[in-house]
């Protein structure tokens, strides 16, 4: 049910994730931010078991920060992705984490990049990727409309197309999405796409 997808454009990478926190048939909240800012120029969009999602991504975030203090320079996106994958792999045959991750980052030397890391520690460097039931729709949409070197406007247009597709075609479609972007100026929130706001208390 959790939808996460992302793509690489011209000098930036964009990731979008749904924002519903669900427990069986109950929606706890519909503004849960599942895209963590890993450091100044990296984003982790995670989906999966909610406890594992938070625990694992925070653990990665603190270790990435420690590396920076120890060595005086930040990890590259590729190094962070490999570290993340290594942690998943180590835990896999003992106590696996059920978290799927799209790691987007911008490095000065190599530009933007996107890494697909699934819960059994698969690692792929990709131009576009997606997880969850929503991936059936968003990957198809991106396969049709994606081309390399898209501008931010074109990329957001494509992201909106994917969100439209998910909303209209997925039976239990999440109502709200958050979009974050990372480029040479850093990682930051780009926009929210809300179709359901938390209802204000109705007057009697």
Partner 1 sequence: MARYDRAITVFSPDGHLFQVEYALEAVRKGNAAVGVRGTDIVVLGVEKKSTAKLQDSRSVRKIVNLDDHIALACAGLKADARVLINRARIECQSHRLTVEDPVTVEYITRYIAGLQQKYTQSGGVRPFGLSTLIVGFDPYSGVPSLYQTDPSGTFSAWKANATGRNSNSIREFLEKNYKETSGQETIKLAIRALLEVVESGGKNIEVAVMTKEHGLRQLDEAEIDAIAAEIEAEKQAAEAAKKAPPKET
Give contact residues for partner 1 (rule: CB under 8 A). Answer: 58-59, 62-63, 65-66, 69-70, 72
Nearest to 60 by CA among 16, 91, 32, 30: 91
CA distances from residue 100 to 2, 25, 46, 116, 202 in whole angstroms, order as listed: 10, 22, 6, 8, 38
Q: Is the Cβ of residue 69 or residue 199 nearer to partner 1 in the bound state?
A: 69
Q: Is the Cβ of residue 60 or residue 142 nearer to partner 1 in the bound state?
A: 60
Computed from CA positions of residues 137, 140, 145, 147, in that sequence, does the dihedral angle turn out positive or negative?
A: positive
* Tokens coding 141: 């949409």
Q: Is the Cβ of residue 66 or residue 120 nearer to partner 1 in the bound state?
A: 66
* Least distance between partner 1 and beta carbon 57 (Å): 11
Give ∠ CA 88-91-95 in degrees, rounded to 5.
125
How many residues in total does the chain contain? Answer: 204
* Least distance between partner 1 and beta carbon 166 (Å): 32
* Least distance between partner 1 and beta carbon 16 (Å): 26
Q: Is the Cβ of residue 50 or residue 113 nearer to partner 1 in the bound state?
A: 50
* Least distance between partner 1 and beta carbon 27 (Å): 24
């Amino acid at each position: 049910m959790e939808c996460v997808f992302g793509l690489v454009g011209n000098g930036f990478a964009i990731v979008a994730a749904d924002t519903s926190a669900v427990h069986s048939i109950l929606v706890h909240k519909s503004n849960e931010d599942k895209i963590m800012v890993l450091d100044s120029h990296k984003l982790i969009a995670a989906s999966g078991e909610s406890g594992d999602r938070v625990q694992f991504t925070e653990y990665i975030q603190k270790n990435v920060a420690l590396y920076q203090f120890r060595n005086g320079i930040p990890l590259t996106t590729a190094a962070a992705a490999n570290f993340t994958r290594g942690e998943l792999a180590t835990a896999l045959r003992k106590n696996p984490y059920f978290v799927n991750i799209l790691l987007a980052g911008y490095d000065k030397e190599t530009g933007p990049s996107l890494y697909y890391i699934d819960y059994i520690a698969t690692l792929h460097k990709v131009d576009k990727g997606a997880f969850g039931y929503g991936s059936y729709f968003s990957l198809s949409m991106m396969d049709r409309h994606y081309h390399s070197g898209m501008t931010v406007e074109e990329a957001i247009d494509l992201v909106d197309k994917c969100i439209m597709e998910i909303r209209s075609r997925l039976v239990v479609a999440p109502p709200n999405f958050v979009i974050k972007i990372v480029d040479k100026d850093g990682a930051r929130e780009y926009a929210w796409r809300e179709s359901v706001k938390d209802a204000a208390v109705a007057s009697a």
